[in-house]
Amino acid sequence: EFIDSYYYNKLELTRFSSSVGKFVGFTEYGVRNAEYWNNDASFLSAMKAQKEGYCLHNIQNWYNNMLTKS
């Protein structure tokens, strides 16, 4: 799962989760940003592509490192 969270003063404003597939806001300002970002199809598809570009690319390396440590 790919999660991208946005914080200000240790307060989480907005989060993108690849399992949900969209942004979710946790404050009034975060909800407005989430609505704006969810309506931007190109930005939303770029965030969805981050799972393949970042997580799936590195998972084998992380998995191998975990197995050698245990």
What CATH number is associated with residue 30? Answer: 3.10.320.10
Closest CA to 43 of 26, 17, 22, 29: 22
Question: Token pair of 43, please?
Answer: 């930005």
* Cα 17 off chain centre by: 4
pLDDT digit string (tens) for 38-55? 999 999 999 988 888 877
More confident residue, 9 or 52: 9
Distance CA 58, CA 68 (A): 16
Q: What is the tally of structural domains in the chain?
A: 1
**Is the distance from CB of 15 to CB of 6 less than 8 angstroms?**
yes
Domain enclosing residue 11, as ranges: 3-68
70 pLDDT more than 60: no
Mean pLDDT of 13-33: 95
Query: For residues 46 and 35, what is the distance between their CA atoms, to the nearest angstrom?
Result: 16
